[in-house]
A and B are shown apart, each in its own frame.
Chain A
């Protein structure tokens, strides 16, 4: 079938194409091929350099010191052939004193070189790693300030790569790259100087091969970059294939697909093999080519230099010194060509890092924001309008006044604005018009910390952090004592299963609580939501993806948990909706009906209509092939996208 043979990891087709930078503010630039670290920038980006130089500023004296050491090292290394020339000249002239003098000089160069090299490495590392740490911390702290709008628009993977691979690309530049380039340039200049010093004509003849080397390297680079991109793509396919095989092994075995899969894996594995061997051929070619060019230069030195020695225009010692200097000359030339790509990569990475740092948070705590230590739990929506993108409002003129302790159920189709509405209470977003007040105080005038403390939130997908059960329950209230944690767990019916875990409350949960069932994770997230005794509780499809057993436990717990708390519930379980003090029916971001279940049925409007439609259809449908017992739900309010 098509997908195996295609093998196009590059062809990430983003169905729906919802990436549109013009329309979406707060969206990070997306590279064309989807793999951001492949994109190369220009070699020098003034904005990047200026921004980063601010991070460097505190270390500028050390940087000067490191640069000085780099230059000193380059100088010591390049002076060594001079010492050899002196030694040989001494031998030629039978001058033992000169030999000793040059010998000591050479020794001093060796020592100075080692010390300078040590200083260079030590200082560059010192600065580079601190820069990196500072940059990482700044980026992370900044990411915490950005509102959910940013995270709605940017996938986690992409933001991750900014702080991992892009920062790493910068690391290379910051820890060593910059000074390596400086050292290379100094080295080349010094080599040129010494070559000219030994013999001007010979030097000029030798330089004629440099363009050949540079052109050869540049051509090779463009080929090899493509080849290595192919290798990366090929190995990515192999790995994802393998990963899928491991995760799906139960299905594979139950369908006896082992042989077929082995055959297909072999084919992607083979594609990878060919890609790597192709790339290997390219990288195997570069060194011999360079060496041949260097040897060509050496032949020129021997032929033309020797001729000049024969004619008495040059000493044999100078010839040897020249030959040794020539060996030092080509390394930095080659290295600079390689650094070129490195530099482009670092600049592109820097660009992306700065883009994150420059993304403005939508809002921060107002300077005069107040703490709300204790609240009753009155929530008022005063003619609230909200839009994600400038033109289209998601919520329009919501005017809703909720008494302390009231339970409000939101009902409406997917996209009607239910989740957005609850998100505004927690101030994940700011309203576009109107205001939301808690106990009469505008949420924009309340500190984020104290507001979130008064609220408990349970989402459909129970998101846990790696850490112990205890830490997870106490996430919103780290100072909670053991008995408080236990009490919270008991209140939601989680205590029983937690005590049955290997280490009870100290059981370590792997990434996202992978070692618990979905239902167990949700129970913990319920405990987490109520441990701080919030006055306002928001349940967003909290039981939609748990098994029946858990649901029974949760439904029981809810009976007590909702008492005395202002609660906002999005659910499709009928009993939960029906028990609400008030049901709010949303359509296209507007409140079209509200009232109790019975009132709304009596009204005979949208709610009654949806309710009846779903129910009748359902009752007729199942009756045909079963004795009709079915869980009571009102899914028509939350229909799946497919036509029937």
Chain B
């Protein structure tokens, strides 16, 4: 983490407005024009009444020409005012949207460069909230805070000045009501904000209850839990009701108070102003001007409440956005990093250690020497560190001790891009982007041609399936398209990897039971993929383990056994245990099936087969 800036986050956020400072100035100019012409209107009306009509002793002394000129000027002023108002609103929107755009780009870019360590902890929902609602919070603050606040201030100062020049006693009387209005407006929004946040939170919770209930309806019904679910929902709904009703109560209290205070200001001004007219200290036109100004000022003063709230929102939004932007990736590239070229695929781990914190290491003293083209099988219980070993090689995390080298080069001396290009990773849980199948295969190689894509799809044994789809390679997958089975996804992932042609391969083999047909296709695709590459397999299948050049058995982050199947099977150790518990099942089941198959083939009348136990083994 960088040392935190001492500035409040919304102020720090204003640096995003800096590139647009000319626009800011232009917007402020529009604000000035708007304020000026807005104040001219009531002044013109006063002139029309006092000079155009000019009532003295109950008799008008004015003339129609002055009236006509005033009327024309009123419309003209309104047109100018309209132009400036349009300019101000539009420019403010332009500015705030550009700021939001820049922040979004920054967040996006920063997020995808943060290492796995960050993403392991971050929850997608939270990150999304920052990138959407929090950016919107900043955007509105820029719009309202930077522009609107200036407008309110300018309008208030100018109007008050004009009023004081006209009649300072009356001006003072009107102005007395401004502070309480502003105070109530701000009080209202600061009282409302926490409850609104709570309402939002509760809406989220009710959404979760709803979503879970509807998606899990089969489970709800299977367990006969409809009443329970209804009560759960009703409790949340009740909670939401209590809080939303509370916001209503607050608004019902403050809004009439605000309207009432302002009405009082009007009453006082009109009443006192009338007696001033009676005493000859004020003209009818001047009082009209006063009353029109008051009407005009009500909303801007009340909007101070909203500006206050936007400030509070920008405060927390800004903080959360900087949580992302200030987060430093645990994996960074050296300034003098070199490109890895012409890789042979010789991977070495030298006394590698890794831990998220100092107390509990995940890996210790891991030493591996994988020769180019070898198959290394990693075995061990979940949590033993298999996945961590493979994640360290492409520097998704950095080692905390020892070093990893490729062809003798420490991976920390290589550029991240060239290092990761060297690896092809086929995950257990294949992530497909919502795009066409073709795009997904070419995901890592944007410059691949259609022919390239078809070629690797054929090698990965997925081409025929893709061709059978109505839109072929243009079929959409992911959220908005068709759903693929695990086996199909895996073969797409293999095709994707083949296209990259990496020298080193990482394959997570702990796939769930796919049907044999798919299994067979996957095996064929894998055989293609492994040709001539150094391969690391997180192995679950006996066949993979038996054919590996090296088997590494991990336990609690350490390599406890190392060798080939033939060597390890005769030793008393964890490999035998795993073999007995997990792998032999597969072998025995297979052997039995083979025998049976042979017999069935020989003699269709075979009947008296002892049923084999499901779990086999011990």
- Within 89-125 of A, Cβ neighbours of B (below 8 Å) are at 90-94, 96, 99, 102-103, 106-107, 109-111, 113-115, 117-118, 121-122, 125
Q: Are A559 and B613 in contact (CB under 8 A)?
A: yes
CB-CB under 8 A from A102, the residues of chain B are 271, 274
B486 close to A (CB within 8 Å): yes
Chain B interface: which of A39-47, A210-218, A244-252?
Answer: A244-252
CA distance A472 to B546 in the complex (A): 40
CA distance A559 to B470 in the complex (A): 44
Chain A interface: which of B155-163, B179-187, B587-595?
Answer: B587-595
B68 close to A (CB within 8 Å): yes
CA distance A544 to B514 in the complex (A): 7
CA distance A132 to B240 in the complex (A): 10
- Within 268-306 of B, Cβ neighbours of A (below 8 Å) are at 270-271, 273-275, 277-278, 284, 287-288, 291-292, 295
CB-CB under 8 A from B410, the residues of chain A are none
- Within 546-605 of A, Cβ neighbours of B (below 8 Å) are at 546-549, 551-552, 555-556, 558-559, 572-576, 578-579, 597-599, 601-602, 604
B442 close to A (CB within 8 Å): yes
> Which of A109, A133, A295, A559 has a CB less than 8 Å from the CB of B78?
A295
List of 4 A-B pairs having minimum Cβ-Cβ separation, nearest first: A635-B515, A295-B78, A452-B224, A125-B248
Excluding A96-B278, A117-B260, A269-B108, 18 further A-B contacts by CB distance (< 8 Å) are A1-B435, A1-B442, A3-B436, A83-B267, A92-B58, A107-B271, A133-B240, A238-B104, A246-B128, A247-B124, A273-B100, A287-B85, A302-B71, A306-B62, A457-B219, A459-B219, A552-B582, A559-B615
Chain A interface: which of B14-22, B87-95, B362-370?
Answer: B87-95
The smallest beta-carbon distance between A272 and chain B, in angstroms, is 7
CA distance A312 to B292 in the complex (A): 25
Q: Are B75 and A299 in contact (CB under 8 A)?
A: yes
Per-position 1/0 for A625-641, Cβ under 8 A of B: 11111111111101111
Ordered by A's residue number, 27 sampled pairs between the chains whose C-beta atoms are within 8 Å are A13-B480, A15-B481, A80-B263, A88-B284, A99-B274, A110-B267, A121-B252, A140-B237, A144-B230, A239-B128, A254-B423, A254-B425, A262-B112, A272-B101, A277-B94, A280-B89, A280-B97, A281-B90, A303-B71, A426-B221, A475-B223, A478-B228, A575-B616, A578-B611, A621-B524, A631-B590, A632-B586
CB-CB under 8 A from B516, the residues of chain A are 614, 618, 630-631, 633-636
Chain B interface: which of A155-163, A184-192, A437-445, A482-490?
Answer: A155-163
Given the interface pairs A91-B277, A633-B515, the reply to whether A143 lies near B214 with Cβ below 8 Å is yes
Per-position 1/0 for A478-507, Cβ under 8 A of B: 100000000000000000000000000000
B399 close to A (CB within 8 Å): no
Q: Are B481 and A273 in contact (CB under 8 A)?
A: no
Q: Are A262 and B79 in contact (CB under 8 A)?
A: no
CA distance A316 to B238 in the complex (A): 57
CB-CB under 8 A from A608, the residues of chain B are 600
Please, which residue of chain A has its CB at the minimum distance from the CB of B127?
A246
Given the interface pairs A2-B474, A144-B220, the reply to whether A626 lies near B256 with Cβ below 8 Å is no
CB-CB under 8 A from A518, the residues of chain B are 512
Given the interface pairs A99-B275, A113-B263, A306-B67, the reply to whether A144 lies near B226 with Cβ below 8 Å is yes
The smallest beta-carbon distance between B100 and chain A, in angstroms, is 8
Q: Are A640 and B518 in contact (CB under 8 A)?
A: yes
- Within 211-262 of A, Cβ neighbours of B (below 8 Å) are at 235, 238-240, 242-258, 260-262
| Chain A residues bordering chain B, tally (CB within 8 A) | 193
CA distance A394 to B55 in the complex (A): 93
Q: Are A84 and B614 in contact (CB under 8 A)?
A: no
CA distance A323 to B45 in the complex (A): 10
B52 close to A (CB within 8 Å): yes
Please, which residue of chain A has its CB at the minimum distance from the CB of B381?
A549
Please, which residue of chain A has its CB at the minimum distance from the CB of B52?
A306
Q: Are A457 and B431 in contact (CB under 8 A)?
A: no
A324 close to B (CB within 8 Å): yes
CB-CB under 8 A from B402, the residues of chain A are none
CB-CB under 8 A from A544, the residues of chain B are 512-513
B70 close to A (CB within 8 Å): yes
A-B contact count (CB 8 A): 565
Please, which residue of chain B has its CB at the minimum distance from the CB of A547?
B510
A174 close to B (CB within 8 Å): no
A436 close to B (CB within 8 Å): no
CB-CB under 8 A from A56, the residues of chain B are none
The smallest beta-carbon distance between A355 and chain B, in angstroms, is 16
Given the interface pairs A118-B256, A254-B425, A269-B104, the reply to whether A99 lies near B271 with Cβ below 8 Å is yes
Q: Are B524 and A625 in contact (CB under 8 A)?
A: yes
B194 close to A (CB within 8 Å): no
Q: Are B222 and A455 in contact (CB under 8 A)?
A: yes
Please, which residue of chain A has its CB at the minimum distance from the CB of B295?
A327
Q: Are A320 and B284 in contact (CB under 8 A)?
A: yes
Q: Are B256 and A115 in contact (CB under 8 A)?
A: yes
CA distance A327 to B237 in the complex (A): 42
Q: Are B81 and A288 in contact (CB under 8 A)?
A: yes
> Which of B49, B62, B78, B275 has a CB less than 8 Å from the CB of A292?
B78
Q: Are A163 and B210 in contact (CB under 8 A)?
A: yes
CA distance A296 to B83 in the complex (A): 15
Q: Are B207 and A164 in contact (CB under 8 A)?
A: yes
B164 close to A (CB within 8 Å): no
CA distance A90 to B72 in the complex (A): 30
The smallest beta-carbon distance between B417 and chain A, in angstroms, is 5
- Within 355-394 of B, Cβ neighbours of A (below 8 Å) are at 381-382, 394
Given the interface pairs A91-B284, A148-B218, the reply to whether A573 lies near B513 with Cβ below 8 Å is yes
Chain A interface: which of B342-350, B551-559, B568-576, B602-610?
Answer: B602-610
Please, which residue of chain B has its CB at the minimum distance from the CB of A298?
B74
The smallest beta-carbon distance between A222 and chain B, in angstroms, is 20
CA distance A503 to B129 in the complex (A): 28
Please, which residue of chain A has its CB at the minimum distance from the CB of B421?
A256
Specify which of A156, A260, A466, A544 lies most central, judged by the most chain B CB atoms within 10 Å of its CB: A156
Chain A interface: which of B5-13, B165-173, B310-318, B537-545?
Answer: B537-545
Specify which of A84, A91, A270, A579 lies most central, judged by the most chain B CB atoms within 10 Å of its CB: A91
Q: Are A244 and B119 in contact (CB under 8 A)?
A: no
CA distance A118 to B234 in the complex (A): 30
A266 close to B (CB within 8 Å): yes
The smallest beta-carbon distance between A221 and chain B, in angstroms, is 17
CB-CB under 8 A from B613, the residues of chain A are 559, 575, 579
B150 close to A (CB within 8 Å): no
Per-position 1/0 for B102-123, Cβ under 8 A of A: 0011011101111010010010
Given the interface pairs A288-B82, A299-B74, the reply to whether A572 lies near B513 with Cβ below 8 Å is yes
CA distance A126 to B326 in the complex (A): 45
Given the interface pairs A281-B90, A614-B516, the reply to whether A250 lies near B589 with Cβ below 8 Å is no
CA distance A265 to B220 in the complex (A): 40
The smallest beta-carbon distance between B557 and chain A, in angstroms, is 16
CA distance A632 to B592 in the complex (A): 9
Q: Are A453 and B523 in contact (CB under 8 A)?
A: no
Q: Are A141 and B89 in contact (CB under 8 A)?
A: no
Q: Are B219 and A251 in contact (CB under 8 A)?
A: no
CA distance A269 to B606 in the complex (A): 68
CB-CB under 8 A from B263, the residues of chain A are 80, 109-110, 113-114
Please, which residue of chain A has its CB at the minimum distance from the CB of B244?
A129
> Which of B237, B431, B468, B512 has a CB less than 8 Å from the CB of A547?
B512
Q: Are A625 and B523 in contact (CB under 8 A)?
A: yes
Per-position 1/0 for A300-325, Cβ under 8 A of B: 10110011011010001101100110
Q: Are B464 and A317 in contact (CB under 8 A)?
A: no
A68 close to B (CB within 8 Å): no
Please, which residue of chain B has its CB at the minimum distance from the CB of A459?
B218
The smallest beta-carbon distance between A292 and chain B, in angstroms, is 5
- Within 497-521 of A, Cβ neighbours of B (below 8 Å) are at 511-512, 517-518
Q: Are A476 and B541 in contact (CB under 8 A)?
A: no
- Within 203-225 of B, Cβ neighbours of A (below 8 Å) are at 207-208, 210-225
Q: Are B78 and A291 in contact (CB under 8 A)?
A: yes
CB-CB under 8 A from A448, the residues of chain B are 221, 224, 226
The smallest beta-carbon distance between A230 and chain B, in angstroms, is 14
